[in-house]
Structure 1
Amino acid sequence: MNIQHRINGKVYFVTTTVVDWIDLFTRPVYKHIVLESLAYCIQTKGMEVYAWVLMTNHLHLLIGVTGENTVSDIVRDFKKYTSKKLIDTLQREVTESRREWMLDRFEFSGRNDKKIKNYRFWQEGTDIQEVFLNDYFEQKMEYIHNNPVKAEIVNHSHEYRYSSAIDYAGGKGLLPVVVV
């Protein structure tokens, strides 16, 4: 399979991580905020998703960008929106047993950054790697899909709900994915 003939535009492997590797994405309420924001980026910002996985404390994407937005623009807007929405939700979740501890960590992380008003949710910077080669694309896709298996969350990658592995196994996942 020649990836370049199947995909329009440039392709990127993107990783973003929660501050201090805090495991916030263990509850569906937080996971769905990320999913809704990714769906918005797909619908309105020209992002095409080829593979993705949301782990307990980080997100991997293999994406293409079409239209006027750059990958940096999309990731910046995604992180800004989800950061605010996740912090707001965390503040309201009175049943969250680790709420005060997490908010303290997020506040501490943002305290010395003039760009941050109150809290830093995502670690500063995002790992964005442009994908040029088919082999590299396939390597990153396998890495993404095997993350939950390696973490011993599931035995088979297609069993993990918050991933595109199901799409590649012939099923329908939670986000629209361009299967290549």
Structure 2
Amino acid sequence: MGRSRYHVLGNQPHFLTCTSVNWIPLFSKVELAQIILDSLSFLQRQQRLELYAYVIMENHIHLLASATNLSS
């Protein structure tokens, strides 16, 4: 992994944004958005992610989340 100017500090809530490559509207397809929802649910059940809020847009996702090792 390369160097980054961003650092995740401790197990605190962070605002995260994930975008699709070239802002392609992938998540307008229900099947693809469901994959994201299933993945988030799995991480919560495994207690690997504390999810406070999220929104799935057609080409990006916003999360308010915390985890022990959020950067990975």
Question: Do they fold alike, i.e. is TM over 0.5?
Answer: yes
Write the distance in 2 (CA, Å) between the matches of 1:42 and 1:72. 16
Percent of aligned pairs with the same residue? 37
Structure with greater Cα Rg: 1
Q: Which of structure 1's runs of 4+ aligned residues deviate more than 6 A?
A: none
* TM-score normalised per structure 1: 0.33
| More helix, by proportion | 1
Q: Which residue of 2 aligns with 1:72?
A: 71
Which of 1 and 2 has higher RCO (CA within 8 Å, sep 6+)?
A: 2
Write the distance in 2 (CA, Å) between the matches of 1:58 and 1:39. 18
Q: Which residue of 2 aligns with 1:60?
A: 62
Asked if residue 21 in structure 1 is aligned to residue 20 in structure 2, the reply is no
Query: 5+ residue gaps in structure 2?
Result: 1-10
Q: Which residue of 2 aligns with 1:51?
A: 53
Write the distance in 1 (CA, Å) between the matches of 2:19 and 2:59. 6
Counterpart mapping for 1:1-180 below 5 A: 9-65=11-67, 69-73=68-72
Q: Which residue of 1 aligns with 2:6?
A: none
Query: 5+ residue gaps in structure 1?
Result: 1-8, 74-180
Number of residue pairs the alignment of both structures matches: 62
Name the Cα RMSD after superposition.
1.2
